[in-house]
Every structure is written in structure tokens, then in C-alpha cells.
Amino acid sequence: MLHWIIIILLLLVFAAVPVAAALGILSLSLDELYMNGRLSRAIGEFTWDKSKEYILVAIPMFILLGEIMLRAGIAKRMYEAVVEWLSWLPGGLMHANIGSCAIFAASSGSSVATAATVGTVAYPEIDKRRYSERLFLGSLAAGGTLGILIPPSISLIIYGMITDTSVPELYLAGIIPGLILSLLFIGAIVIACSVRKDWGGTPVKTSWRKRIRVLPDLIPPLLLFGVVVGSIYAGVATPTEAASLGVVFALGLAAWTRSLSLRMLREAFEGTMRTTAMIMLIILAAVFLNFILGFIGVTQGLLDLITGLGLTPLQTMLLLVVFYLILGMFMETLSMLLTTVPIVFPIVVHMGYDPVWFGIMITVLMETALITPPIGVNLYVVHGVRARGGPFNDVAYGALPFVLMMIVMVGMLLAFPQLALYLPTMVYR
């Protein structure tokens, strides 16, 4: 039965059937085959309950927050401020790319939004300072992926919902790996630009006076981070409430920078609702498939199969890592998360891994999927901001050093689970 499920799913998905329809049709057929269609009769009630789930309201709120930030002109000034502070390193502005992405990620829940925002601001600098275009573009694509690891994160909300894991714990767990990964990226640029001096571009001239003067430009994004993430850990707000506070705060910022208008709001609504509809259609179908799979015993069957192989937990985890690295080359990340986690999660927990730790692990693997060709959404996004155009391969090659760093991060998480678990353990357990 299991191999049929996988074959049908792959067939539908790679025939470019909308992912939600592929999952939905699979659910309905499995139910028809094994339960005489009894479970599908409840699909209305089931979908209604999930559609109004309060924790999921955080998703449109975080997207709306990003859409407003994008249009409020905060990103450009933040980038210029980070340039003053980080560009003395070999590799110059590329460090500002990583740094700005990390800061932006701390108020945005999406990798695409992070890469698009910082990418647009940073791109014109390549020519001005003669950087290696490949590495520069790669740093933007990779830096953008931090959006889903550093809280807030939409992916972690979705993971938390389908696995019943606490979202605040996941958010705390993402902070240290997010910072380490940023440092790994910075390290990769330093090494690359020390070996190949011509990649590093002309240095930026700065002074301490300039550095101090730009500090106020970092305040809006940091305040937003304080409002959104701070309110969760101060015990004041749930993730949904924190996202709502963030939306109101961002709207205030937009009013302050005089970019607030009816037209701007309408565009923000269009962007928000389009993305929300796209995400929710898949989530609802995936959650129902999850329910069907559990009922007809597929999950148990797979568990028996894997335990029957007699692999150690570490071997199983390594197998999963390889599986995700390969799948990530071909699948869009959200679909990958939603189609695999319902099946993989019970195995992982059965092997004794911590659900919060695995959430971070799979997020790093999703980040890898975002920048591995041929299907890597962040590669497309960064390719898309190149006003001058050029071969797509430039971005893909440029991202390779960062893919290596992500694999190093995966290894570190395996060797030191405390990197993810230290903060949640300290605060909650």
C-alpha cells in the first residue's frame, strides 16, 4: 500500500497538478479504497474547524506585516546602517547582506520576503564596487533563507501545528542556530574572499562617527523584533497576538515614514491574501491527508517498516537528511514540509528525537532546499532582482558555499542538540 501512495503522490505532483489537489485527491481515494469513503463525509466539519484555528491566524498577520514593512522603506536605511558596521570584513558588503537578512528575518516570517527585500536594496552595489557577482547573489539567496529559522517564522508555525509542538518553544530553539548559521555564512565569505582577493570588491570607507550616526536607522527593525518576539517571551502574547501587535506597529512605522496610503494598503492586501490562500489551500489538504493516513494505519506501517530495518536512530536521521537534501532540489519547500512531515514525524519521535529539535533540523533542511537548483525559490527571487539579467547559473553557483555551510549546521545540530534545545529547556522545562 505504502509504495502505491508514494507513486501516486509523486505522479500527481510532478504532473504539475496543484499540490493541494494532489493531496486532496490522494486523501479521497485512500479513504474510498480502505474505509469505503466513511472519513471523507466529515471533510466539511474537519476543514471548517481547521480553517478558523486561531494559531493559523498568525500566518496572514505575519505576511501582512512583511508586506507593510516592504513598502515602508525601512529596509533600505537599515541596510545602509549595517553596511557601516560590517563591511570592514574581507568581502565587504556581502557581510551586510547576511547581517541585514538576519535582522530583517527577526521581524519577518518568510524567506522569500527576506531575500526579495534585502536583494532589491543590495543589488545595485555589485557594479559600484565590483564584487564577484556570483558570490554576491549567493549571499543574498542564502541570507534570505534565515527568514524561516530566526523567529518569527511561518514555517515553524506550520510545523508546530501539524505536529502539535509548542510554537514559542520552536521560536526560542531557532535563535541560536540562526545566529550560528549567520556566522557560518560570514565565515564562508571571509574564507572565499581571502583566497580570491578579486571577489571582495573595493572596500567601503567608513568612520566611527558615521557608524554612530546611522545607529537610529536600526531602531525600527529592532523595535519591531522587540514587539513581536519580545511580547511572546514576556508572556504577554501568543504568536497570533504578537503578529497582530506587529502589524499595528508596522502600520505605525509606515505612517511615520509617510508611505501609508490607500493604494499601498490595497497592494499589501492583495499580496497578503494571495500568499495566504496559496498556503492555506495546501495546509488544509495536508492536514486532512494526515488524518486519513493515521486512520488507515499507514503511519504505523511505515514505522514498522523502518524499525524492521534495524537502523540506529542516527543512521535513520542521516538517511532522512540525505532524503531531504535530494527532495529539496526538486520540490518547493512548503509542499515538501507538508507532504513529508506527517509521515516522517512519528518515526523521528519514535526514535527518541525531540520534536522541537527536529523542527529546527527540518527548517535548516528547508533552507537548503530554498537554494539548491533546479527548484530553489530563493534562487529565483534573487535572480529576479537582477535588473541587468544574466544566466541563472550565476546565482546557483554563488549559493553553493552557503549550501555547504548549511550542511555543516546540520552536522552541528546532530552533534550538539543543545544548540537548539538550550533556550527552550532553560525557559520552559
Site for other proteins in 324-383 (CB under 8 A): 330-332, 334-335, 374-375, 377, 380-381, 383
Between 4 and 269, CB nearer to other proteins: 269
Among residues 128 and 266, whose Cβ is nearest to other proteins? 266
Among 15, 309, 415, 426, binds other proteins (CB under 8 A): 15
Q: 133 to 192, contacts with other proteins by CB under 8 A?
A: none
Q: Which stretch binds other proteins (CB under 8 A): 10-18, 87-95, 157-165, 407-415?
A: 10-18
- The residue among 17 and 318 lying less far from other proteins, judged by its C-beta, is 17
R_g of the chain, CA atoms, integer Å: 22
Q: Answer whether 63's CB lies under 8 Å from 154's CB.
A: yes
Q: How many CB atoms lie within 10 A of CB 203?
A: 13
The window from 109-117, 162-170, 218-226, 417-425 that contacts other proteins (CB under 8 A) reads 109-117
What b/e sequence results for 132-162 when a residue is b if at least 16 CB atoms lie within 10 Å of its CB, and e otherwise? bbbbbbbbbbbbbbbbbbbbbbbbbbbbbbb
The residue among 192 and 381 lying less far from other proteins, judged by its C-beta, is: 381
Among 118, 126, 282, 287, binds other proteins (CB under 8 A): 282
Candidate segments 144-152, 198-206, 281-289, 416-424, binder of other proteins by CB under 8 A: 281-289
**C-alpha to C-alpha distance for 131 and 96, rounded to whole angstroms:** 13
Q: 261: how many CB neighbours lie within 10 A of its CB?
A: 12
Min dist CB 15 to other proteins, Å, is 6
CB of 27 to other proteins, least distance (A): 9
**Residue whose CB is less far from other proteins, 111 or 316:** 111
Give 283 or 321: the residue with its C-beta nearer to other proteins: 283
User: Under rule CB under 8 A, which residues in 32-91 are in contact with other proteins?
Assistant: 40-45, 47-48, 51-54, 56-57, 60-61, 64, 67, 70-77
Which range, of 113-121, 136-144, 172-180, 309-317, touches other proteins by CB under 8 A? 113-121
Site for other proteins in 257-276 (CB under 8 A): 257-259, 264-276
Cβ 379 to other proteins shortest distance, Å: 8
Q: Given the complex with other proteins, which of 264 and 414 has the nearer CB atom?
A: 264
Cβ-based nearer residue to other proteins, 43 or 405: 43
Rounded to a whole number of angstroms, the minimum distance from the CB of residue 59 to other proteins is: 8
Residues binding other proteins: what is the number (CB under 8 A)? Answer: 93
Nearer of residues 133 and 354 to other proteins, judged by Cβ: 133
Does the footprint of other proteins cover residue 101 (CB under 8 A)? no
Contact 377, 112 (CB under 8 A): yes
Task: Give dist(CA 258, CA 214) in Å, integer.
Answer: 20
Closest distance to other proteins from the beta carbon of 243 (Å): 8
Which of 19, 39, 186, 364 binds other proteins (CB under 8 A)? It is 19
| 388 lies in the binding site for other proteins (CB under 8 A) | no
Q: Is 114 in the site for other proteins (CB under 8 A)?
A: no
For residues 245 and 293, which CB has a smaller minimum distance to other proteins in the complex? 245
Of residues 231 through 260, those in contact with other proteins by CB under 8 A are 231, 236-237, 240-241, 243-245, 247-248, 251, 257-259
3-state SS of the chain is: CHHHHHHHHHHHHHCCCCHHHHHHHHHHHHHHHHHCCCHHHHHHHHHHHHHCCHHHHHHHHHHHHHHHHHHCCHHHHHHHHHHHHHCCCCCCHHHHHHHHHHHHHCCCCCHHHHHHHHHHHHCCHHHHHCCCHHHHHHHHHHHHHHHHCCCCCHHHHHHHHHHCCCHHHHHHHHHHHHHHHHHHHHHHHHHHHHHCHHHHCCCCCCCHHHHHHHHHHHHHHHHHHHHHHHHHHCCCCCHHHHHHHHHHHHHHHHHHCCCCCHHHHHHHHHHHHHHHHHHHHHHHHHHHHHHHHHHHCHHHHHHHHHHHCCCCHHHHHHHHHHHHHHHHHHCCHHHHHHHHHHHHHHHHHHCCCCHHHHHHHHHHHHHHHHCCCCCCHHHHHHHHCCCCCCCCHHHHHHHHHHHHHHHHHHHHHHHCCHHHHHHHHHHHC
Closest contact distance (angstroms) between CB of 74 and other proteins is: 8
Which residue number, 93 or 337, has a Cβ lying nearer to other proteins?
337
